[in-house]
Amino acid sequence: MEFSSFGKSFSSDAGIVQLMDDLGNALSVDKSMLMLGGGNPGQIPEVQARFRERMGAILDDGDQFERLIGDYDPPQGESRFVAALAGLMRREFGWPLTARNIAVTNGSQSASFMLFNMLAGHGEAGEARRILLPLTPEYIGYADQGVMTGMFTAKRPTIEHLDDHLFKYHVDFDNLDIGEDVSAICVSRPTNPTGNVLTDGEITKLMALSRAHGVPLILDNAYGTPFPHIIFSDATPVWDENVILCMSLSKLGLPGVRTGIVIANEEIIRGLTGINAIVNLTTGGFGAALTVDMIESGEIISVSNDVIRPYYLEKANQAVDWIRRDFGGCEFAIHRPEGAIFLWLWFPGLPVTSAELYQRLKKRGVLIIPGHHFFPGLAGDWEHKHECIRLTYSQSPEVVEKGIAIIADEVKRAYDGR
């Protein structure tokens, strides 16, 4: 049997699949592994209790449960949920949205797959059309999503050095040439893996540039506002007819229900709905059913602001304190944590690659993700890629503190040439 080129590039040879297997295997072999590698959101009892209560109400309410499991929703998503979302965004931000501007997908991961391949790939004359990532490091999950190889083209950032071992990436607008082959621009804000939040100024410029080039701007808002609002800096939410805003229920604490949301102009939504019908028939309805009341009442915003955001902010601050304590006396910098659930550490001049560091840490029972995976589409090599790691602080404080101490020890050994 021989796989097609699609089959080959989308089967387990892909780097991210191997890495995820590696993380999964390491965990199943040794349950005591300190998991600072994955992207799972934390388990917040107060939020979980709210969803449990809602599930109970569904079970108790006439035939609601039977309809939930027994009916296909329309391919654009469950109608009451879509209308409720449009209403929430209109009320909150004044965006002129109707239900025709919203599509629901099986997770935001599948939304980006459908969007990327709808907008980029081979054009009618066979020409290559690409997605521009104007700032890498960027989300690892985009890396292998192009059906056309070489779908991504990406740029290095500029680096702003800040006090207290902090730094921040910015879009390098001076070197941001948008070629004829670019058919969409994409950024995650807050960014996975760095916790960066592109400034309002950067977003305004990207919106203007994408409009000037007649291509949409995809804003991946999986951690952003109004929910789950894991965002610690000031950032104005934006949408217009040229912006494709991708959202998710995952980081609200519902990664298992696989619900993504796309807000875009009607043409994009029609295209996406068509692809969703072909690939999935429709979208699973559990996420919509569990959250629709909270969206209609606005409670989803208060839960995000009052429970979810403070939960992660406290964890981020605590993890940064541990890092400053344990890495004292060695070269290190932390990307300023402005949102999402990760810390991005940079070890300038590290004598070993981050891939080697990953292996050494795995042997010592700590899982992180080495930095070089987060530069999809970036041409050429760049030593910075091999000097960074991503760790998540969403696990229990004991796991995070222990993990950080071991990482610090291993990094010091590497600097000392041991």
Q: At its nearest, how many Å lie between ligand PLP and the CB of residue 245?
A: 12
**Residue 224 interacts with ligand PLP (CB under 6 A): yes or no:** no
Q: At its nearest, how many Å lie between ligand PLP and the CB of residue 370?
A: 17
Q: Which residues pair with 344 in a beta bridge?
A: 390
Residue type, 411: V
Q: At its nearest, how many Å lie between ligand PLP and the CB of residue 191?
A: 7
Q: At its nearest, how many Å lie between ligand PLP and the CB of residue 410?
A: 26
Residue of this chain nearest to ligand PLP (CB atom): 107
Q: In this complex, which beta carbon is closest to ligand PLP, that of residue 22 or of residue 401?
A: 22
Nearest alpha carbon to residue 82 among 226, 237, 261, 252:
261
**Residue 220 interacts with ligand PLP (CB under 6 A): yes or no:** yes
How far apart, in Å, are the Cα atoms of 211 and each of 53, 217, 241, 346? 44, 8, 10, 34
Contacts of 11 (CB under 8 A, 6+ apart): 3, 17
Q: In this complex, which beta carbon is closest to ligand PLP, that of residue 74 or of residue 255?
A: 255
**Residue 248 interacts with ligand PLP (CB under 6 A): yes or no:** yes
Q: In this complex, which beta carbon is closest to ligand PLP, that of residue 138 or of residue 410?
A: 138
Among 113, 116, 139, 322, contact with ligand PLP (rule: CB under 6 A): 139
Q: In this complex, which beta carbon is closest to ligand PLP, that of residue 151 or of residue 414?
A: 151
**Residue 183 interacts with ligand PLP (CB under 6 A): yes or no:** no
The interface region with ligand PLP, picked from 169-177, 194-202, 228-236, 248-256 by CB under 6 A, is 248-256
Q: At its nearest, how many Å lie between ligand PLP and the CB of residue 394?
A: 11
Binding mask 141-160 for ligand PLP (x = CB under 6 A): x-------------------
Nearest alpha carbon to residue 257 among 11, 48, 18:
48
**Residue 255 interacts with ligand PLP (CB under 6 A): yes or no:** yes
Q: In this complex, which beta carbon is closest to ligand PLP, that of residue 107 or of residue 146?
A: 107
Nearest alpha carbon to residue 222 among 252, 266, 265, 186:
252
Q: In this complex, which beta carbon is closest to ligand PLP, that of residue 78 or of residue 220?
A: 220
**Residue 403 interacts with ligand PLP (CB under 6 A): yes or no:** no
* Backbone φ/ψ region at 95: left (φ over 0), alpha (ψ -120 to 50), beta: beta
Residues in the chain: 418
Contacts of 259 (CB under 8 A, 6+ apart): 104, 105, 106, 107, 248, 249, 250, 283, 284, 286, 287, 288, 291
Contacts (CB under 6 A) with ligand PLP, residues 18-57: 39
DSSP states of 189-203: SSPTTT-----HHHH
Return the axis-axis angle of helices 309-326 and 397-415, rounded to nearest 10°: 30
Q: At its nearest, how many Å lie between ligand PLP and the CB of residue 417?
A: 35
Exposed e or buried b for every residue in 347-379, given b needs 16+ CB within 10 A? beebebbbeebbebbbeeebbbbbbbbbbbbbe
Q: In this complex, which beta carbon is closest to ligand PLP, that of residue 141 or of residue 376?
A: 141
Q: At its nearest, how many Å lie between ligand PLP and the CB of residue 140?
A: 8
Q: At its nearest, how many Å lie between ligand PLP and the CB of residue 248?
A: 3
Contacts (CB under 6 A) with ligand PLP, residues 101-130: 107-109
* Helix-strand-coil split of the chain, %, nearest 5: 45, 15, 40
CA distance 373 to 309: 27
**Residue 230 interacts with ligand PLP (CB under 6 A): yes or no:** no
Cα dihedral 274, 126, 144, 348, rounded to 10, equals: -130
Among 183, 250, 273, 283, contact with ligand PLP (rule: CB under 6 A): 250
Give the interface with ligand PLP as residue ranges (CB under 6 A).
39, 107-109, 139, 141, 188, 192, 220, 222, 248, 250, 255, 260
